[in-house]
Amino acid sequence: MGPPTPQALEALLGAGARVEQLEPLAPWSVARGRVRMGDGSTASLIVKWLREHPQGLRTDIRQIATERAALEFLAELGFARAPRLIAADHAAGLLVIEDLAPRTPLDARLRAEGLAGLEAEMLDYARCLGELGAATAGRAGRYEAMRAAYGPVDPSTRERGFGSEWPQVSKRLATLGLTIADGVERELARILSLLESPGAFLTFTNGDTQVNNFLVGEGEGRLIDYEAAGFRHALSAAVLIHMPGSAFMTVRAPLCVELERAYREALAVGVPQATDDRLFGAGMAGACLAFALDRLTRFALLDSRPAGHESRIQMISTLESAATAARGHRAFPRTAGWADRAAEWLRRRWPDADLDLDSYAPYSPRV
C-alpha cells in the first residue's frame, strides 16, 4: 500500500478537514500532514501506512489493529507518554496520530552527539519504560479484550524467548564445536519458564523499545511505534538498558547501572515485586541472556558475511554484555559463562572481529 491521497485523508478525518500539506518522511512509510480542520484551526498530524518491505516490516494489516488498540488502551489509562490516536482505517491500512515534533528520536541524538551530555535523556527513557510497566501491570485482560475487537492478533506480539530457530541453531553450533553442557541447558529451561510465566511482571510494552522509538527534546520524552505491542515479561522490555540494540555496537558504560535503577524504581510503583533483588535480578539476567541467544540465531547469516562486517563485532558485544548483566545480578552463572565462551569462540572463528570492545565509546553507532 502506498501513501494516502489528501482526499482519502480528508475523508478519514471528516468534519470539513482540508489537507494543506502532506510531506513524506523518508525512508519510512510515514508522512507529516498539515491539516485545516472544519472549525478553522490547524493541526500537524503523523500518518502511517502499510508497506512492502524486504524484511516484512509493517506489511501485516494486524499491525494497524494492534497499534490502534494499544494507543486506545494507553489513552484509557491516562498514560501520557504515548502519542494520541486521531483516526484509523484498517481496510486502508492507515493510522493518523498526534505529531510529537519538535521532539526527535534519541538514537539520532546519540549518533550525532555521543552519550556525553545525553545522560538525562537516557534516564528519562529508562523511567518511561518503567512507568509503562507500572501503569499496565494487572491489566492484560482489558487490553486483550480491546485488541480482540479488531480481529486476529499478530504472532509478533508474543514473547520470543530464544527465538523459534534456536533449537536448530544450537545443534549447528554444537557440530562446529560450541557445545552446551547439561547445566547450561537446565538454566536455559529455567529462563524460558521465567519469561513465559512472568506472574506479577506481566506488563505492557510497545514491542520495540530501542531508543529510535523514544522521542526527546521538549519536556518528558515519548515512546512511539506500537505495531508489535502486547503483554510480556517486564524485564524483556528493559534489556536495552544493558544490551546494544540494532543501531549500536556497545552500550558499556557506568550509566547502565543508573539506567537500571531508574527503570526499577519506576516499575516498582505498579509492580512491588521489582524491589525483590532475587526476582528482579533473575528477570533481568534471563531477559538479557535470551536477547543474546535470539540474536545468535542469525549465526549462519553473520558467518556468511565478509570479514570486517560490523554485525559480527556487534554479536560478540551482545554476548559479552549479556554475560556482564547476568553476573552483575548473580543469576544464571552457567549460562553467563557459556555466553562468554561463545563470544570467545566467535573471536577465534572471526579473527576480523577479535577487537577490544573497550576501545569503542558507549553507544558507538553501527554504520
| 27 prior amide bond cis, ω within 30 | yes
Of the candidates 59, 103, 90, 63, the residue with the CA atom closest to the CA atom of residue 222: 103
pLDDT of 19 over the 60 cut? yes
Q: What is the mean pLDDT of residues 208-231?
A: 95
Specify the higher pLDDT residue, 358 or 367. Answer: 358
Whole-number pLDDT of residue 57: 55
Q: What percent of the chain has pLDDT over 70?
A: 97
Which residues, listed in sequence order, are joined to residue 365 by a DSSP beta bridge?
248
Lowest-pLDDT range of 13-17, 26-30, 91-95, 318-322: 26-30
Instruction: Give residue 59's pLDDT band: very low, low, confident or very high (50, 70, 90).
Output: low
Strands 104-105 and 214-216, sheet pairing: antiparallel
Torsions phi, psi for 213 (to 5 deg): -100, 15
Answer yes or no: CATH 3.40.1440.10 is held by domain 6-98.
no
Of the candidates 59, 61, 30, the residue with the CA atom closest to the CA atom of residue 45: 30
Q: What is the mean pLDDT of residues 321-328?
A: 96
**pLDDT tens digits, 283-301:** 999 999 999 999 999 999 9
Whole-number pLDDT of residue 38: 81
CATH 3.30.200.20 in the chain: give the residue spans. Answer: 6-98
DSSP 173: H
Q: Which three cell numbers stand for residue 93?
A: 491500512
Residue 201 contacts residue 264 (beta carbons within 8 Å): no
Q: What is the mean pLDDT of residues 87-116?
A: 93
Predicted TM-score (pTM) of this structure: 0.94
Torsions phi, psi for 33 (to 5 deg): -115, 140
Averaged pLDDT score across all residues of the chain: 93
Q: What percent of the chain has pLDDT over 90?
A: 80
Whole-number pLDDT of residue 54: 46
Q: How many helices (H) and strands (E) does the chain have?
A: 12, 10
Torsions phi, psi for 88 (to 5 deg): -150, 145
Q: Which three cell numbers stand for residue 311?
A: 554485525
pLDDT of 39 over the 90 cut? no
Q: What is the mean pLDDT of residues 261-282?
A: 98
Instruction: Give residue 1's pLDDT band: very low, low, confident or very high (50, 70, 90).
Output: low
Whole-number Å distance between alpha carbons of 267 and 256: 16
Q: What is the mean pLDDT of residues 295-312?
A: 97
Q: What is the mean pLDDT of residues 95-120?
A: 95
pLDDT of 67 over the 90 cut? yes
CATH code, 104-359: 3.90.1200
Contacts of 106 (CB under 8 A, 6+ apart): 118, 121, 122, 125, 211, 212, 214, 215, 216, 221
pLDDT of 14 over the 90 cut? no
Of the candidates 224, 206, 220, 25, the residue with the CA atom closest to the CA atom of residue 105: 224
DSSP 276: -
Instruction: Give residue 24's pLDDT band: very low, low, confident or very high (50, 70, 90).
Output: confident
Instruction: Give residue 55's pLDDT band: very low, low, confident or very high (50, 70, 90).
Output: low
Whole-number pLDDT of residue 190: 98
Instruction: Give residue 253's pLDDT band: very low, low, confident or very high (50, 70, 90).
Output: confident
Q: What is the CA radius of gyration of the chain?
A: 21
Residue 150 contacts residue 278 (beta carbons within 8 Å): no
Whole-number Å distance between alpha carbons of 308 and 285: 30
pLDDT of 342 over the 90 cut? yes
Residue 271 contacts residue 237 (beta carbons within 8 Å): no
Sign of the four-CA dihedral 67, 298, 110, 257: positive
Tell me if residue 20 falls in helix, strand or coil: strand
| 102 prior amide bond cis, ω within 30 | yes
CATH 3.90.1200 in the chain: give the residue spans. Answer: 104-359
